[in-house]
């Protein structure tokens, strides 16, 4: 190799950063962002008040609240946030494409299918993942041996779910009520306020974590076509998953299908009455949504979120052990 070329390569290597993790994030343009957050997903994202009419409803608490607070102080980034609680989960991620919000969070799983609206138009983008999720079942402690897997959920089991979540979709998929594309199995009965519908195995009956066919949008329950699948009961549309936890403790349902993080927190709060089981193998990543036409903001947020999480090396477990972990990282 010519000596001049060798000298040039050596200079480039000396100047190149050791890794993305070693490069400090750069300031963004000064900007105040309107942030909407789901108010009922403790401990990831929740409101200081359960009543949407209470002044404290817009006080953001939890993992994502602390991550955003650290982002505001990070290296003079120039970003600040005005936060507003959101009570309804349904397609919450798409609200970042509305004039109401610049950024939306609340334990939202990053799915490509969620980037599109009902007309198939790409409306939002997701930041890089800052938290991992695995789906699970929450159950009463006395049922732990009988309901230790999704395969153990038969037609006598009443599974509670929040409509439009990845917890709902994985429950339906893993028990065979839908296929991988969300098409309901033939013979599944879906209850709605307008009456009951029986799926014919076609794409006229679809439920995924991003959308559903219009005829199933107001579903209140599902009955299986045979004994090998569970019943599904929908709750929490107005008040979040706390309604599901109360129904489980009262014996109205037998399991709650949702993420391990929320289920583990509920089990801890139950003083041993509830336990978590049937941990899903699939790992999901949660992020914030923003308008698809904000590429510079997206790049800025990714730069800073990746710094605060040390490129996903710092996550929920670290925050649960030390809730100042992101602020400490911001101060480095």
Q: Across 119-235, where does the E strand assignment appear? A: 124-126, 131-133, 135-140, 158-161, 189-192, 195-198, 221-223, 231-234
In CATH, what number is assigned to the domain containing residue 153?
A: 3.40.190.10
Give the phi and the psi of residue 80 in degrees, each rounded to 5. Answer: -140, 160
268 and 147 in a common domain: yes
120 and 69 in a common domain: yes
Question: For residue 25, what pLDDT is reported?
Answer: 57
141 and 128 in a common domain: no
Residue 20 domain-assigned (yes or no): no
Average pLDDT over residues 147-169: 97
Average pLDDT over residues 102-112: 98
Q: Show the tokens assigned to 129.
A: 């993942």
Q: Is residue 15 scored above 80 in pLDDT?
A: no
306 and 258 in a common domain: no
Average pLDDT over residues 56-75: 96
316 and 257 in a common domain: no
Nearest to 139 by CA among 19, 294, 273: 273
Percent of the residues in the chain that have a pLDDT greater than 70, as a whole number: 92
Give the phi and the psi of residue 319 in degrees, each rounded to 5. Answer: -65, -40
290 and 258 in a common domain: no
- Domain that residue 313 falls in: 25-132+284-330
Top pLDDT among 175 and 22 is at 175
125 and 59 in a common domain: yes
Residue 69 domain-assigned (yes or no): yes
Q: What Å distances lie between residue 300 and 26, 74, 109, 307, CA to CA?
A: 8, 12, 20, 11
89 and 158 in a common domain: no
Residue 3 domain-assigned (yes or no): no
126 and 40 in a common domain: yes
302 and 223 in a common domain: no
Residue 222 domain-assigned (yes or no): yes
Top pLDDT among 77 and 232 is at 232
Average pLDDT over residues 127-153: 97
């Amino acid at each position: 190799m010519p000596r001049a070329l060798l000298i040039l390569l050596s200079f480039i290597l000396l100047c190149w950063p050791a890794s993305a993790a070693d490069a400090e994030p750069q300031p963004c343009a000064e900007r105040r962002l309107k942030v909407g957050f789901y108010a009922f997903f403790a401990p990831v994202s929740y409101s200081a008040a359960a009543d949407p009419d209470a002044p404290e409803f817009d006080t953001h608490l939890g993992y994502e609240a602390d991550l955003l607070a650290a982002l505001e102080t990070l290296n003079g980034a120039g970003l600040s946030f005005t936060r507003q609680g959101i009570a309804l989960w349904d397609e919450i991620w798409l609200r970042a494409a509305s004039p109401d919000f610049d950024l939306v969070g609340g334990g939202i799983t990053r799915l490509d299918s969620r980037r599109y609206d009902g007309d198939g138009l790409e409306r939002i983008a997701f930041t890089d993942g800052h938290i991992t999720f695995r789906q699970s079942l929450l159950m009463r402690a006395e049922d732990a041996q009988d309901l230790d897997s999704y395969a153990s959920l038969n037609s006598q089991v009443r599974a509670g779910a929040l409509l439009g979540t990845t917890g709902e979709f994985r429950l339906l998929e893993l028990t065979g009520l839908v296929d991988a594309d969300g098409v309901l199995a033939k013979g599944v009965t879906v209850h709605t306020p307008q009456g009951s519908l029986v799926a014919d195995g076609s794409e006229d009956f679809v439920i995924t974590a991003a959308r559903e066919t219009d005829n199933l949008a107001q579903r209140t329950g599902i009955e299986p076509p045979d004994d090998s699948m569970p019943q599904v009961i929908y709750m929490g549309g107005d008040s979040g998953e706390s309604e599901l936890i109360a129904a489980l403790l009262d014996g109205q349902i037998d399991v709650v299908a949702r993420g391990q993080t929320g289920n583990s927190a509920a089990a801890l709060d139950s003083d041993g009455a509830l336990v978590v089981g049937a941990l899903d193998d699939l790992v999901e990543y949660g992020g914030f949504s923003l308008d698809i036409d904000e590429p510079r903001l997206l790049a800025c947020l990714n730069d800073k979120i990746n710094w605060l999480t040390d490129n996903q090396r710092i996550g929920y477990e670290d925050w649960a052990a030390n809730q100042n972990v992101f602020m400490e990282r911001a101060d480095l």
